[in-house]
Amino acid sequence: MTSLLLDRTNTVLVVVDLQGRLLTHIPDADVVVDRAVRLVRAARMLDLPILWTEQENLGPTDPRVTEALAGWQPMRKIHFGCFGCPGFPPAVQATGCGTLLLVGIEAHICVAQTALQALRAGYGVHVAADAVASRNPFHRDLALRRIEAAGGVITCWESALYELLERAGTGEFRACLPLVKGA
């Protein structure tokens, strides 16, 4: 069952296919990439595990995302849902986390299939709605409704960040505050 709140000791950030070739067809792609990058930076500050995928034949990940993910390597995949990638399920299991926080594209294909596969496997799922997109906004909205109906939590990047932080007044809160102020 999906926890209603994110817990930093039990959350892995999953960055799905934010690749330049597809981003050129995504409305508000810059906003989606910006929100995803903010979550990547926050995850790094909070020592959350991060998994990153690239769909084969769609070119490299957007350079803004790649820069934020310096030190991580993407998992190449041919399946739309990340759980179809042979290395993905063991990578999730190796994190020891029970909840996936998803960002990326396309919402109605790779993100939705990953979310539904994760829920079926017993993981919790949160989707940062302002950090996912589809070429057609209607398809994105349908995907988010479908994920929510299946038991996933639809949130936004800033809510996710504050849930992971839990409280103000800490060094981590102060370190993450510029991510919010720049939004």
> What does the pLDDT look like over 56-91, one tens digit per residue?
999 999 999 999 999 999 999 999 999 999 999 999
Q: Which domains does the chain have, with CATH numbers?
A: 11-181 (3.40.50.850)
CA dist 73 and 90 (Å) reads 15
Band (pLDDT 50/70/90 cuts) for residue 1 is low
Q: What are the structure tokens assigned to 104, written together?
A: 């990326």
Do the Cβ atoms of 103 and 125 come closer than 8 Å? no
CA dist 14 and 17 (Å) reads 10
CA dist 147 and 127 (Å) reads 9
Question: Residue 147: phi, psi to the nearest 5?
Answer: -60, -45
* pTM recorded for the entire structure: 0.96
- For 23, 55, 76, the CA distances from 66, given in Å and listed in that order, are 14, 15, 14
* Neighbouring-strand partners of residue 76: 54
pLDDT digit string, tens, across residues 103-152: 999 999 999 999 999 999 999 999 999 999 999 999 999 999 999 999 99
pLDDT digit string, tens, across residues 151-161: 999 999 999 99
